[in-house]
Amino acid sequence: MSGRGERGGGCTVSVAQGEESQIILQVGDAADYAARKDAYHSQGLKLVPVNLGREAFIVNDAQLIAIDDQNRSISLGLSLVVFDGKPPLSNEEAAAGIEKAGSEILANMQAPPSA
């Protein structure tokens, strides 16, 4: 696991399936969200709206960007690298998993701290 710095908090976790596969989570603010959304849109990437937070999109079936009502944002991406054979997940399965995990992350960000 590794951490992030300048663009808010985040972490990268290695995934056992495939070679050099990772799940990457970054947490930021409204400016981080806007920068990601604008960059992906200008690159012509596929942005599919999903019903999470104030606004959210699945990007190219492998990443979720979302912002909540308190201007907290997340970027959650799955990078599956497979050199020989088929990936362990279809694009649809990857997108559904990222959306579900992102929903749980947003819910936990809003939950009051436990006593």
**pLDDT tens digit sequence for 33-50:** 999 999 999 999 999 999
Q: Residue 114 domain-assigned?
A: no
Quote the number of domains for the chain: 1
106 part of a folded domain = no
Q: Which residues contact residue 64 at a Cβ distance below 8 angstroms, ignoring those fewer than 6 apart? A: 50, 52, 56, 57, 58, 74, 75, 76, 77, 98, 99, 101, 102
Tokens of 102: 């992102």
Let me know if residue 96 belongs to a domain.
no
Segment 78-85 shows an average pLDDT of 78
Tell me if 69 sits within 8 A of 54, measured CB to CB.
yes
78, part of any domain: yes
pLDDT at residue 88 in the model: 77
pTM score: 0.81
Domain range for 77 is: 2-91
What confidence tier does 10 reach under pLDDT thresholds 50, 70, 90? Answer: low
Q: What is the pLDDT of residues 46-79, one digit of tens each?
A: 999 999 999 999 999 999 999 999 999 999 998 8
